[in-house]
Structure formats: structure tokens, C-alpha cells
Amino acid sequence: MTDTYDAIVVGGGSVGVPSAYALARRGLKVLVLDRRPAVGQGDNKAAIGGVRATHSDPAKILLCTRTLEAVSTWKETHGDDIGWKPGGYCFPAYSEAVENTLRGLLPKQRTYGLVNDYVDANAIAELVPGIVRDGLRGGTYSPNDGQVSPLLLPVVLMRHAIRMGAELRVDERVTGYDIQGGAIRAVVTDKGRYEAPIVVLATGSDAAEHGKLLGVDIPVTPDSHEAGITAPVEHFLGPLVVDLRPGPEGKTVNFYFGQNHEGQIIFCYTPKELFVGTNRESQSEFLPILAARMISLVPRLKHLLVRRVWRGCYPMTPDGVPIVSNVESIRGLTLAVGMCGQGFMLGIGVGDEVASLALDGKYLLPKEASDTLRFERDFHAGKKEALK
């Protein structure tokens, strides 16, 4: 027997769950399938939980603004704790080059309604207590950005979707798709076959493999990044801090950290040599390099006790911008893949876009923003995103 749904979301991660939530809100009978044992167990749980509208790409700015509107009011509106911590993002500048980059992004960000500003060194020192003052020129601060728990958000959103009638099947691997007459008909798994006229592909780092099953080339290549978290300390740090300088050790492009809603310091760096692939094993060099960078920026952090480190993937596209799009050659298929290093913060904004694309065949975003998300674009045409 085949079960029939209005829509099937393949992948219950950072974008699949919000997509299911948005489709269920539009009254559809939705099925979410994931090969892992619960929602949010893919690269979603590798995220450090930063949610910022501070980007250079208009689509990312607008999608993350939508996410921020939802997460910053979630508790008052729905009553659940999703680990929301306001406090913004802070990008300190220690060189003219970084200052120019940061100042250069502000006009476009303001066009899209962001209230980000370049502030002086005293303001940065107040935002980041203990930051080294020597050479500090100032920096940008975006007060409306914040942090959310990647462990809580997908569970909460999925629970709401289930209340609206959605179904979740975990430990179930999608192995094929049934396409007839140029339209998607069904999804085949290792346990069954499910029919629906709408299928949303939200399989993160595995997107290219699903492209092969669907007969389309989906240019998503994962690279892996490491992160870590400390034991909690008293709250002292409001913003998530991004140091855009390359590290003196020659191995890091930038690094970033913040204090989450539980008081833990959570941190990451971008390696100079990318680790292409899905290897998720931690490396011995990560912590010594990261610790040295963090202590040289904020010496008081030397007392922190690191609790654990982990590695996860950024599902990258060639131009650093996601693919949120219907597919001309397969009716009923909507792609929500290639989220790069921002799938968690994009999730809710992308979910609304997916529902509109799948049901109404059009973007909610203005054309100049949505064009960058299309599947049928030249992935090598434009400039790469400045704030990846």
C-alpha cells in the first residue's frame, strides 16, 4: 500500500523542518523523512546557533530578517523556549582593510532595513569586555542579530508542525524518486513508498547524491568545519564576535565566538585550507589554534574550561548562495539546499519561501533578491559572497 500526502519534505534538518512547518501552516498534509533518528541531527546540530541578517547578499539579508522576526518573538508568541539570546553581532576592526570592508557593506545592508552601524573603539570595548585595545579602530555592531539553540529549534518547530497534522518518519533513508511525465509522483525509501505532488529536497550535505537520483546536477559540495563549547560562566558577553583577520599561525581565515543562552562560550574558525568532504572527525590542531586566537583577542578567556569539540559540514554552492528554487525540468520539485555556513539562520525564512514556491509557484522575495537563489542560474557568474 502507498501512503499519500500533499507534500513530502526529504531531510528534517535546519531548513527541512521549517519548510514542513510552513507547509503545514498552509493547511497541507506533510510528511518529513530523515535517515537519522530524530530531527536536527545532521549538520543542524553542528551549528553554533548564530542568527544574523548581517550579510552582503540581499536574499540572505531578507531571509534572515524573516528568521529573526520569528525567533526573537517566538517565546511570547508560542510559549516555547528556543534558547533565543539577543545581543547582536560585533565585527571588530584592527586594520584599515577590515574597516573598509565593514564600512563598505553598510549602505547595502541599510537599503534592506538593517540598523547596523560602525562604532568607535570605546563602544566595541564596552560590547566585548576585555577585548585588546591595542590597534582597535572600532567595528560594526548589529543590535538586532542574536543566537538560538540548534538543539531546541528544530524539535520545537517539528512539534508545532505535528500539531498541525504533519507526520515524521525517522531512521528511514530515501533511496529513490518516482518521476512520471516530467512531474514528481513519489518518494521511495528503504521502508516504503510515499506519493505526493510536491516534494521538497532539503538534504543538506547529501544534496548532490539526491540530484543523481533525480537526474539533475545539484552543485553542492560539503566542506567541514570544527567548533567547540566551554562550560558555562556568568553572562558577560552580549554579541557574537567575528574577528575577520587571518590568524598569525597561517591556518585560519577568521574566527568567531559568542556566549549562548546557557552561559557557555561557543566558538569556530574558518580554516585557510578547506577540508572538502564529509569527514566529521575532530582534529588535534583545532583547539590549540582556536584557544590561542581567542586569548590573544580577549585575554580573560584563558580561564575557560572547554567541554567538547565537534566537526560538521557547510553544504557549499560555487557562488556561496543557497539554492531555493523550483526546478523547470521536474514539476512539483522544490530545492532548498546549498545553505553554506548559514543554513540554521536561513531556515525559517527559507521555509516560508519554499511554501510559496511549492504552492503558488512564486517567490515572496523581490526579484533582485530571489534571482540569486534560482537553480537555473550561472553559479560562476557573480562575485562570491563577502560574509560567508
CB nearer to ligand FAD: give 50 or 58: 50
Residue length, the chain?
388
Q: Which helix (H) or strand (E) holds 348?
A: helix 343-360
Q: Which is nearer to ligand FAD, 44 or 116 (CB)?
A: 44
- Please identify which residue in the block is written with the cell numbers 508568541: 77
Taking a C-beta distance cutoff of 8 angstroms, is the pair 16, 205 a contact? no
CB of 17 to ligand FAD, least distance (A): 8
Minimum CB separation of residue 290 from ligand FAD in Å reads 11
CB of 122 to ligand FAD, least distance (A): 28
The nearest distance, CB 208 to ligand FAD, in angstroms, is 11
291: cell is 584557544
Residues that bind ligand FAD (CB under 6 A): 10-16, 33-36, 41-44, 46-50, 173-174, 202-206, 225, 227, 268, 312-315, 339, 341-345
Is residue 233 a contact partner of residue 368, using CB atoms and an 8 Å limit?
A: no
CB of 16 to ligand FAD, least distance (A): 5
Whole-number Å distance between alpha carbons of 8 and 51: 27
Closest distance to ligand FAD from the beta carbon of 126 (Å): 24
CA 379, CA 388: separation in Å to the nearest integer?
Answer: 16
Q: What is the dihedral of CA 264, 265, 271, 277, to 10 degrees?
A: 10
Long-range contact set of residues 173-181: C-beta below 8 Å, sequence gap at least 24: 173/35, 174/10, 174/33, 174/35, 174/203, 174/210, 174/213, 175/213, 176/213, 177/210, 177/213, 177/214, 179/214, 179/215, 179/330
Residue placing its CB nearer to ligand FAD in the complex, 140 or 270: 270
Query: In the complex with ligand FAD, which residue's Cβ is closer, 10 or 157?
Result: 10
- Residue 136 or 335: the one with the smaller Cβ distance to ligand FAD is 335
What does the CA dihedral 189, 155, 261, 268 come to, rounded to 10 degrees?
Answer: 0
* Residue 121: CB minimum distance to ligand FAD, A: 26
For 158, 265, 287, the CA distances from 23, given in Å and listed in that order, are: 12, 35, 41
* Shorter beta-carbon distance to ligand FAD: residue 136 or 220: 220
Q: Which residue is nearest to ligand FAD (CB)?
A: 13
Closest distance of CB 378 from ligand FAD, Å: 22
Nearer to ligand FAD, 48 or 59 (CB): 48
Cα 109 to its chain centre, rounded Å, is: 19
Q: Which is nearer to ligand FAD, 94 or 269 (CB)?
A: 269
Instruction: Please give the Cα distance from 42 to 317 (Å, whole number).
Output: 18
Please tell me the number of Cα atoms within 13 Å of 34 on its side-chain side.
25
